[in-house]
Structure 1
Amino acid sequence: MMRIVVILIALIALVCSGEWVYRSFIRPIDPMPPEIVALADHFDRNGIQVSPYAIRHGFRHSEVEAVAAFKVAELPIPFVVFVCPDKRSAAAQLDALRRDGETRAGQNGRMVLELGLWAEDAQDRALKIIELFNAFDGSQGS
């Protein structure tokens, strides 16, 4: 009986680790949704030249549909925007970031912005990016 329990636990662990490996390393990178392209245009029109690119993420699609990094020429590290399936999942993603100590994050519709560590050293730029992100009309990309 103990042998069966151990085998079942091992099988469950194998299935769970297989899903994680697939989501983290094997699944293709999700294409950038129209909202990301529209957001990049919004930043460019308002004085912050960005180069967005899709990045691999390990989230389930019920939590996050796509993730894009935005490289800004003067900044050492890109900032990240998560595109969630709906506003509720975006709020949950923002709450998770804040629980992890990320105070430079924001939500606009179904998108969540995470600035990262560089924001402490470039506060003026961080505030401008947050301001533009909050002012973005997400319906432009739909």
Structure 2
Amino acid sequence: MRYALLAILLAALLFGGEWTYRSFLRPVDPPTPEMVALGEHLKAAGLLARFYPVRHGFRHSQVSAHGAYELTSFPLPISVSACPTEEAAEAHRQAIERSPNLLNPTRKGRLVIWFPMWGDDTSEMMVKVSNAVASFGPR
């Protein structure tokens, strides 16, 4: 009984340690070349966007880097995740699609782009951004 309790406690400690590291202690991942290229593409499409990296709690087998583009003259960001493989990107897109407040997840190669907390009153800007993203080809 004592060993079973010790094993459960050790497993909880390991899981909690990994979660704490991924959520709070791991350094923020730098943007991937695809993320930089998407930012340049948005600028070329007339959308002035500034990229900023965001800490994520995913394993690197799921998401390599995460960030957002802040549009000038618009209050809501565009979120983007870079995944290590296209299969991981599709799984990430499907997970985002199930969330009601994360709109229009789109996968372009290994990138997954979506609109967090955007609503009905933002449809005009969402169409502009979606058209720009649709014309983006990952390098």
TM-score under structure 2 normalisation? 0.94
Q: Distance in 2 between matches of 1:63 and 1:111?
A: 12
Q: Could you list the runs of 4 or more consecutive aligned residues of structure 1 that deviate by over 3 angstroms after TM superposition? A: none
Residue of structure 1 equivalent to 2:8? 9
1:56-97 per-residue CA deviation (whole Å, 9 max, x = no partner) reads 111100000001110011222211100000111000000101
Cα pair distance change 1:49/1:130, threshold 3 Å: same
Distance 2:89 2:72 in 1: 27
14-23 or 129-138: bigger deviation = 129-138
CA distance in 2, matches of 1:103, 1:27: 28
Distance in 1 between the 2:66 and 2:119 partners? 19
Query: Which residue of structure 1 aligns with residue 112 of structure 2?
Result: 112
State the Cα distance separating 1:119 from its structure 2 match.
4.2
* Residues 103 and 117 in structure 2, CA contact (< 8 A), matched pair in contact too: no
Matches within 5 A, 1:61-140: 61-101=60-100, 102-139=102-139
Deviations 1:103-142 (A, max 9, x none): 4211111000121112432101111111211210101xxx
Contact 2:48 2:71 in 1 (8 A): yes
Q: Secondary structure at the match of 1:51?
A: strand
Match of 2:26 in 1: 27
CA–CA distance in 1 between the matches of 2:119 and 2:86?
25
Identity of aligned residues (%): 37
The 8 Å contact of residues 75 and 118 in structure 1, kept in 2 or not, is answered as: no
SS of match in other structure, 2:59 = coil
Q: TM (normalized to structure 1)?
A: 0.92
CA distance in 1, matches of 2:119, 2:108: 19
- Counterpart code for 2:10: L
Across the two proteins, how many residue pairs are aligned to each other?
138
Residue 29 (structure 2) pairs with residue 38 (structure 1): no
Q: Give the partner amino acid of 1:113.
A: I
Structure 1 gaps of 5+ residues are none
Q: Which runs of 5+ in 2 are unaligned?
A: none
Q: CA deviation at 1:3?
A: 1.9
Structure 2: which amino acid aligns with 1:17?
G
